Structure 1
Amino acid sequence: MRKRSKAILAVLLVATMVLPMMACGKKSTTDTGSDKTAEPTVTSGAESDTEDTGAEATAAPTQAGTEDPFASYPAFDMGGRTIKIAMFYDMYYDSTDTVPEDNPNVTNVELAQKLIDNVRRVEEKYNVKIEYVNPGSDALVDSLNTSVVAGTPDYDVYLTQLSFALPLAVNGYFENLSDISKDYEDINNNRNIITPFEIAGTNSFFSKSGKNVAATYMVYNADTLKQLGLEDPNELYAKGEWTWEKFEELAKASNQDTDNNGVTDIYGYGGDLSLTLLEFLASNNAILVKEDGTEGLTDPKTVEVFQFLSKLYNDDKAGRPLTDDWNDNIYAWTQNKCVFAPTPMYIIQGEEINFNYRIVPWPKGPSGDGTKAGQSFNDYFVIPKGIKDADKVYQIIEEFFGGWYGNDLEARDVDMIELAESCFLDENDVDTAFKIGEMGNGDLWSVVDKNYIVNSIFSSVCVKKDMTPAQAVAANKQLFQDEIDKLLK
């Protein structure tokens, strides 16, 4: 199933997902003039002659089954205004583009033309221009913290990371989507175009709808398990038997000393620490940042996670020792240094792997229910308070984002489906990837924990071994609460 070029896959991933910053610890903070990214990839309607009368529209609240999904969206005159969308990378296509080749890296001319045609249609319907603006990451954040806070936003819409925007959202600097959206709009119905993201009591963030590949999967070497005569995790999952206990059993049995020198060469489990913590916490239903803004470090569910990891790494010796080299940790499974590992999709698509690998949802912890995965946060759009006619801007954005595919969700999702098909060897893993992408638990801890407090707890328990799990979480309780307060208050 791996059939698409790495270059194209990389472009799609950049356009549609935010890789967990906690996992790689790096993200460019300045724009380097990189090529724009094509619009149709997702995450993640049509014209009217009605003139704007200032009255609330009362169109039917559903689009399902209609040939024109935007027939219920009334036209209005924006007086030639340019709606500016600030992003930290370049994006095609907008009102400044006229032909597919305006994107020097265009690969699908037919699709590019659909995007351009939709731009022209939206321009005509609303007498408006739409422009993507890339001021660079630093300048975009500065604009949020200065112009938005001052009530005079530089841009009409911002695409930004949650860590930068959440404090502003909590303090009311962005429009509440419930206040500016209409009953007939997609966000209040099918959500085929826009998906809102409610977090920390806010309802300001939204993203393009579509198949979600921003997730961390448990990957395993299926060849090794078969050679060792061990049970297949996906079969265990199908029977409802995929638990921490069963995972531990397989991980221990997968340890191998291939040259008989008394040193383990292949470990049962290995990989990036932050991703390991993200997923084992979620699989035990442990929430570190509770809805009321208090810490969950000292919750018994959290303590259970560190007790289990201590057993896996210290007692069972089934956890591959972590190194200071992030690449060595995250790519260890691709080099057959461990059998089980956490991995995001971009690691899979970026490597030539010479064995049969599979993915499976994370095993269920003793306090888990098997329905949750770690939250990988997308970049989100926000509309700042202070812009004129925010409700009209939002309506135009919906039609601008979704007008090229209308009700054809297969067209919307084709790139994400092809991306997943190109990354996995078993077609069942494509569905598994999308399933895990929808299981995020919404826990903000990976955004809050800028000082890697949770990682340090692991270090105390599993590396230094100078504290018990209960002692380590208690020692860091107030530090973690302080980090929560910085972000949410």
Structure 2
Amino acid sequence: MKKKALALLLATAMTMAAAGCGNDSGTGSASGSPEGSVQDGAQDSTEDSSEGQEAGSEGSSQESEEPAYDFGGRTVRIGSYYDMTPNPEKSIFEKAFAERIDYVEQNYNCNIEFVVVGDDYVGSYITSVLSGDPVCDVGYVLSYKLLPSLIEGGIAQPISDLGVIDFSAPWYDAGAVESGTYKGKQYAIGQRGAGVQYGIFWNKTLFDRYGLPDLYELYENGEWNWEKFKEIALAGNQDTDGDGEYDVHGFNWRENLIWSFMSSNGANAVTKTDAGVELSLETPEAMEALEFYADFMQNVPQLSGWQSQIWDFRDGNSCMCYEAWWISGNYLAEMEDEWGFVPFPMGPSGKEYVSYGKEASPFMMLNGIEKPEEVAQIMDLIFQIFDDEEEWEEAILAAFEANATDSTAVDICLELSQKNKISPLMGFSDLDKMVNEMMNSLGNGEQTPQTALEANRSALEAEIADIQNHDYSADMQEQMDKYLNPEEEEAGE
């Protein structure tokens, strides 16, 4: 969308927010929430992204003309490890979702029940489906727990086979939908929200102080690329007291850096196929990413850590920070310096700016439920909390504006919100471990991309073959036994 249109939408969103319940800003959308208090990306990735201030209910889609439905009093049970009942006081999205549910219940003769299935929600899904009595109809799930095990194990059913849902509709989150695609079928749905995964936060105060180029200008001129990123990361290192050590770092990060290099260059470690997944580490795009990552890690001094790197950026000790958007509301509200947000820089083979995410948090439908077509139809109806694309963008802009410090960051977040790239790698745990160990060897200089691939090729290919022949049904039975007999599991440990 052009900038004038964005500005108009932002003004509308701010007016909506002002008309609501003051300064309340909730976290997460109704369709997904992080597992634990802090998470990187899900449908936000959900990952703890604040959803903005309250707005009026006029945007709810109940005012549009819709076909008449009568579901005969059907109750759809939506399960999770926590109570996902939308709280109208929390955010514009939850308010609209609560109103939409009420409308659908009253007009289409159905009921929505939110069910807490326990902390081990995956074990609950598996056990109940294998026992012939699904604990819920629809269940929250992290994408790497869904794909491939719950799909191959027969716990999740292919929603696309029902022929009910248009997954390209504006109320569906593109990243969440893609995260649930496997062997040509769709197994997950996620409601669209104000979610952006990884990007680069930059300290505008430090950039001005040390004469570093404006990242917004680089982005808008199409010059925000890997080389410029490396150049600024080096130039930002400052020894302010002359003791021979950097007091301010040009760049810091916590995890998943290699995967943003990959996704920003149109690459991935594995690629989905109709048969499952195949290795794609040796494509030209992947090799470019691996080589630049190895060079960057070995030649750019940087801070890394867990939460400490976020605090270092917040406290003005780093010029740039690689993180997911959710920290804007959770950590940066207390930041004294001015900050901005840009996408991860584009690689030489990249076609557009994207946002890598390690996971999404969509909904799956359990196998064995009654009349699954009705369940899919009801879920589709309650997801339609706004009338059209424009109203969705108004709400999303309002949510981003609640945490952003400038309008350019809002524009960028809106652009990225449907360009979250979720890798399927984490779902294949043994392969994921093997690949990440190889990435570590590149980062510390133990191996080059070429020698690492040569040394690991046969093991990687064997792991792919094992994935294709793996007995997931046996895995499901094993998890069911652990769920039903936790004492035996603890004794075995």
Q: Same fold (TM over 0.5)?
A: yes
Structure 2 match to 1:319: 301
Structure 2 match to 1:425: 405
Structure 2 match to 1:68: 64
Contact 1:333 1:340 survives alignment (8 Å)? yes
| Partners of 1:136 and 1:214 in 2: CA distance | 28
Structure 2 match to 1:242: 224
1:272-351 alignment to 2 at 5 Å? 272-274=254-256, 276-292=257-273, 293-315=277-299, 318-323=300-305, 326-351=306-331
Query: Is 1:153 paired with 2:134?
Result: yes
| Partners of 1:252 and 1:170 in 2: CA distance | 46
| Partners of 1:319 and 1:120 in 2: CA distance | 54
**For 1:378, what is the secondary structure of its paired residue?**
coil
Query: Is 1:84 paired with 2:65?
Result: no
Contact 2:202 2:339 survives alignment (8 Å)? yes
Structure 2 match to 1:13: 28
Identify the range of structure 1 (472-481 vs 372-381) with the bigger mean alpha-carbon deviation: 472-481
Deviation at 1:203, TM superposition (A): 0.9
| Partners of 2:363 and 2:105 in 1: CA distance | 21
Label 1:466 to 1:124 Cα distance change in 2 as closer, same or farther (>3 A). closer
Contact 1:18 1:378 survives alignment (8 Å)? no
Identify the range of structure 1 (225-234 vs 285-294) with the bigger mean alpha-carbon deviation: 225-234
Label 1:440 to 1:319 Cα distance change in 2 as closer, same or farther (>3 A). farther
Structure 2 match to 1:384: 366
Percent identity, aligned pairs only, is 24
Query: Is 1:215 paired with 2:200?
Result: no
Q: Which amino acid aligns with 2:171?
A: N
| Partners of 1:486 and 1:40 in 2: CA distance | 51
Label 1:365 to 1:188 Cα distance change in 2 as closer, same or farther (>3 A). closer
**For 1:267, what is the secondary structure of its paired residue?**
coil
Contact 1:69 1:406 survives alignment (8 Å)? no
| Partners of 2:234 and 2:429 in 1: CA distance | 31
Structure 2 match to 1:56: none
Contact 2:343 2:412 survives alignment (8 Å)? yes
Q: Which amino acid aligns with 1:420?
A: F
Query: Is 1:163 paired with 2:132?
Result: no
Contact 1:298 1:470 survives alignment (8 Å)? no
Q: Which amino acid aligns with 1:177?
A: I
| Partners of 2:446 and 2:361 in 1: CA distance | 38
Deviation at 1:86, TM superposition (A): 0.7
Label 1:20 to 1:387 Cα distance change in 2 as closer, same or farther (>3 A). closer
Label 1:263 to 1:299 Cα distance change in 2 as closer, same or farther (>3 A). same
Contact 1:214 1:344 survives alignment (8 Å)? yes
| Partners of 2:311 and 2:464 in 1: CA distance | 31
Deviation at 1:487, TM superposition (A): 6.6
1:45-124 alignment to 2 at 5 Å? 45=61, 68-70=64-66, 72=67, 74-78=68-72, 80-93=73-86, 106=89, 118-124=100-106
Label 1:412 to 1:285 Cα distance change in 2 as closer, same or farther (>3 A). closer
Q: State which of 102, 112, 120 in structure 2 corresponds to 1:130.
A: 112
Label 1:20 to 1:222 Cα distance change in 2 as closer, same or farther (>3 A). farther
**For 2:267, what is the secondary structure of its paired residue?**
coil
Superimposed CA distance per residue, residues 457-487 of structure 1 (whole angstroms, 9 cap, x where no aligned partner): 3432333x32222222443445555666677
Length-normalised TM-score, structure 2 = 0.74
Q: What is the root-mean-square deviation in Å for CA atoms of aligned residues?
A: 3.9
Deviation at 1:20, TM superposition (A): 9.7
Contact 1:244 1:365 survives alignment (8 Å)? yes
Label 1:448 to 1:355 Cα distance change in 2 as closer, same or farther (>3 A). farther
| Partners of 1:438 and 1:110 in 2: CA distance | 17
Deviation at 1:412, TM superposition (A): 5.4
Contact 1:18 1:377 survives alignment (8 Å)? no
Contact 1:271 1:332 survives alignment (8 Å)? no
Structure 2 match to 1:99: none
Provide structure 1 residue ranges, at least 5 long, that are not aligned to the other structure: 28-37, 47-66, 94-102
Label 1:369 to 1:106 Cα distance change in 2 as closer, same or farther (>3 A). closer
Superimposed CA distance per residue, residues 23-58 of structure 1 (whole angstroms, 9 cap, x where no aligned partner): 96999xxxxxxxxxx9999xxx45xxxxxxxxxxxx
Superimposed CA distance per residue, residues 100-123 of structure 1 (whole angstroms, 9 cap, x where no aligned partner): xxx6x94689985x7666545433
Q: Which amino acid aligns with 2:398?
A: E
Structure 2 match to 1:206: 189
Contact 2:27 2:90 survives alignment (8 Å)? no
| Partners of 2:173 and 2:296 in 1: CA distance | 42
Deviation at 1:206, TM superposition (A): 0.6
Label 1:474 to 1:298 Cα distance change in 2 as closer, same or farther (>3 A). farther
| Partners of 2:462 and 2:24 in 1: CA distance | 42
Q: Which amino acid aligns with 2:186?
A: N
Provide structure 2 residue ranges, at least 5 long, that are not aligned to the other structure: 1-9, 43-52, 471-493
Q: State which of 357, 361, 364 in structure 2 corresponds to 1:375.
A: 357
Superimposed CA distance per residue, residues 154-207 of structure 1 (whole angstroms, 9 cap, x where no aligned partner): 21111211122222224554343333244xx6x367443676445222212111
Contact 2:170 2:389 survives alignment (8 Å)? no
Label 1:160 to 1:481 Cα distance change in 2 as closer, same or farther (>3 A). farther
Contact 1:217 1:360 survives alignment (8 Å)? yes
Structure 1 match to 2:446: 466
Label 1:442 to 1:476 Cα distance change in 2 as closer, same or farther (>3 A). same
Label 1:445 to 1:205 Cα distance change in 2 as closer, same or farther (>3 A). same
Structure 1 match to 2:171: 192
| Partners of 2:266 and 2:168 in 1: CA distance | 30
Contact 2:144 2:359 survives alignment (8 Å)? no
Contact 1:86 1:132 survives alignment (8 Å)? yes
